[in-house]
Structures are given as structure tokens and as C-alpha cells.
Amino acid sequence: MSKIIKKPSLLDAITPVVILISMLAGTVYVFGLDSFGPNQVALILAAAAAAMIGIKNGHSWKEIERGMIDTISVSLQSLLILLMVGALIGSWILSGTVPSMIYYGVQLMSPDYFYLTACLVCALLGFSIGSSWTVAGTLGIGLMGIAAALDLSLAASAGAIISGAYFGDKLSPLSETTNLAAAVTSNDLFEHIQHMLWTTVPGFLITLVLFFVLGIGSGANLVIDDIEILQAAMQETFNISPIMLIPMILLLTMAVKKLPALSTLICGTLAGCLFAAVFQWDTVIALANDSSLSEGAAVFKGLFSAMFLGYSSDTGNASLDALLSKGGMSSMLTTIGLVINAMAFGGAMRRTGLLERLVEAALSRVKSAGDLIIATVGTCIGTNLLAADQYLSIVIPGQMFVKSYEERDLSTINLSRTLEDSGTLTSALVPWNTCGAYMSATLGVSTFMYAPFAFFNILCPIIAVIYGYSQIALQQHRLATEGQA
């Protein structure tokens, strides 16, 4: 006799989400900016709550567990990519690639057009290292000091820094959120980045125009001592040269040719190691920090340390050390844990029918592609407001809407783009979100003050909705499938 499985009620579907949000609010309150790890506990406990509701409705534990494992397995390729991104960052810092990008990038600064140039330099640095937080916490702090010395608007300066940092972060293959959005929707990383150009480039160009207009008449002449000191410190530690940009050019070339993301990242990492061994020999040995080894063995240890543990800068220059002490596979393990636990939660919700019931309620009034895009944007913003975490604003809506896009003959690459347009970018506009709290604390300006000037973060969700209703740059599911065949 077959068992009877009850269709979950809306209350059933909402209960695990309410439990999750309550626990997430608790972790943010108790742990503050360190809630990233505890959030994983909240996710797995919420998955257990979903499983219990599923069992109440007639599902077996084995069936639910299999659903969790199957959902996690979908993300395994992306988890490998995340590990290689960590290795790539470490090798590129050690090779002088990232320091060279920063060195030449800050030369774009112009006191006469401070907001515009601050936004551009932060965008370049954000793309170089794939972290908006690091940009704000290093170069951003220096730029805020310069803005204060020039008697410029600190709110507008913070908005320029955040706009540029998030633009670079969003388009960087080194970014955790960019990798996460592609992973949750099972899309190729570089195709995801390419598709984001449709909303990101217009949004950024409008942002630059706004900062140009805002900066007219506010010019001043000031020698930017902090930036010159930063450049000098880099030259003391690394061999800075345009040649060091070759690993980046190699990676971009392979990405343009649409080669597999994992193989591209491996090649970029190996190129970084080669350049480190050839051009940064002393720096590699210094990273090994083991006088008992021969030079060859020390170089071997230094390269592998950079790839797994990341680069550790100890120059005595606090800004440079904070900027360059990052990377390594180990730096990605917390993010990987978040992905696994989030996928487990999504798998439990999906196998028990709770996710389908939630989507059914959310899409009850959706009749067009534009309605679907605006539902996605609204859910991402709502998750940022309620869950206070940008990663969850990507993972939860991503899992909720995948099937809905496919059913409407839309490629899920439209979903991954919208997750970033709304989930990633609006996180910095919410004062109690980890991103908003971090930016406010780091830059010394309240979220409510800088939010109106974070033009890029505001524009992208709007452009996404406009594209949805006007049917611009929406890739069809059948076309995407045929292209992969």
C-alpha cells in the first residue's frame, strides 16, 4: 500500500523560512559582522525543520536526505571553482599581478574630479581582487581621508567608493558572490559575467556621468600622499611592471574564448605561480619563512602556501598589508560551507514540496517575464532586509525561482544576473545588513547618508526590471540549450 503524501499548506512552507530568518536575525544581533559562520548553523537547522514538516506530511527521512544530497551535488563543480579562485588570488598577489594592477590603477586618481576618479579606481581594484569589502576597507579609507581634507561631501565620496567597488566585484571572476550566483543557478561563470554586462555597463556609465556632474566645481589641488606611500611600499616588496599583467590578460583571453571556467582558473593560477617564481623570487622565499630549506624548496613552499593559505603581507604599511593579505583555498572554505548548507536547506525545501508551495504563492500574480523579474528583484531585496546577508539573498531566491524561469522558457542565466543586480547590490543599502553595517563602520558614514549616492547599486535593479518588461537582453531557455548542445 503506497503512502499518502499531503500537499503542504502555505503555513507549512512559511514555517522553515520564519525559523531561518529568526535565527539569522539572532546571529547578526549576537555575532555582528562575524555572523557569516553561525549563519551556516541556522541554515542546517532550518533544513531540519523543513524535513520534520515533510515527515509530518508523509515523506520519509531517506527521501528528504537524498533530496538534500542531490541538490548539493549540483554545486560540486562550482565548489571546485571557488577553491581555484582562492588559489588564483594567492598566486596573483605573490606574482605581482594584483599589486601591479593596484599600482597603475591608483594613478588614475584626479583631485579635480574626485568622485569620478574615486569610483573608477575602486572599480579597477574591485575587479582586481574580487572583494568590495577589501576595497572599502583599504583604498576606501584613504579616499575618505582625502575627501575630508578636500572638504568634499563624505556621503557622496562613500557612494562613489561603494559604487565602484561593487561594479568591480560584480564583474570579477574572483568574486565570491559572482561565483555563488553562477553556482546556485548552475550557469557557467564567464557566461554569467558576460550576460551581466547588459545591466552593469549602462548602470555604471550613468553612475560615472552623475559623479562627473556632482564633482563639477569641487576640484582642488592636493598631492595624494597616502597613494604615493602605498605605491612606494608596493615597489619595495614586488617587482612592479606591465609585464606582471600577463596572467590577467591570459585569463581574460581564455574567458572571452569561452573555455571552461575551471580549466581557465587553473591556467591563470599556474601562470601566476610561474611569474612569481621568475619575477618575485625573494618575495616567494620570504613568504615561505623557513630558513632551514634550500632556496628551491623555499620557493616550492612559498608557492603552495600562497595557493592554499593565501598571501600574507608584512611590510609595516597597514593599508598595504590589509589590501594584500588575502586569497588561498582556505579562505574559500567558509563560503563553500555556506553553499553546502544553503543547498541542503534548498534540497529539503524542494523535496518536501515546501519550496514549490512558496514559489506558487510568490508567482500567483506573475503573468509576464517582467513580472517574473520584478518578483525576483523583490524577493532578493526582501531577503536582504529580513535575513541581513547578501549571500542568502542570492542562494534562497536563486533556488526558489530556477524552475519558474525554465517553465517560462527563460534561461536561468537571466536569473543569475538578476540575483546579482538586486541581491548583491542592494545589500549595501540596508543599514542592518552585514554589508551595510560594514560599509558604514568602515567609511564612517551612516548607510542612510551614503545610500542616495550609491548610484550604481540603485540603478542596476531598476535596469533589470526595465529589461524584463521591455524584453531586452532576455536569453531564451531553448536557445541557451541549443547553444550548449
* Residue in 332, 299, 261 with CA at minimum distance from that of residue 94: 299
Mean pLDDT by 10 residues, the chain (485 residues): 79 90 83 76 91 94 91 76 83 88 71 84 85 77 69 89 94 87 89 94 96 75 63 88 90 76 86 95 92 92 94 81 83 79 82 82 80 90 75 83 86 94 91 77 83 96 93 72 44
Q: What is the identity of the amino acid at 85?
A: V
Dihedral sign (CA 187, 188, 194, 200): positive
Residue 387: what pLDDT? 63
Counted residue by residue, the chain has a size of 485
For residue 266 the three cell numbers come to 587553473
Residue 483: what pLDDT? 44
Q: What are phi and psi of 478, to 5 degrees?
A: -65, -40
Q: Across-strand partners of 311? A: 326
The domain segmentation of the chain, as residue ranges, is 77-331
Helices 390-407 and 369-387, packing angle to 10 deg: 160
CA distance 329 to 305: 10
Quick check: pTM over 0.95? Answer: no
Q: Are 459 and 207 in contact (CB under 8 A)?
A: yes
Residue 477: what pLDDT? 66
CA distance 373 to 36: 28
For residue 184 the three cell numbers come to 546556485
Q: Are 339 and 68 in contact (CB under 8 A)?
A: no
* Residue in 143, 172, 173, 170 with CA at minimum distance from that of residue 159: 143
CA distance 380 to 171: 19
Q: What is the identity of the amino acid at 478?
A: R
CA distance 324 to 312: 7
Interior angle at CA 155, CA 198 and CA 145, nearest 5 = 110
Residue 218: what pLDDT? 59
CA distance 240 to 280: 10
Helices (H), 352-422: 354-362, 369-387, 390-407, 412-418
Q: What is the identity of the amino acid at 472?
A: I
CA distance 73 to 68: 9
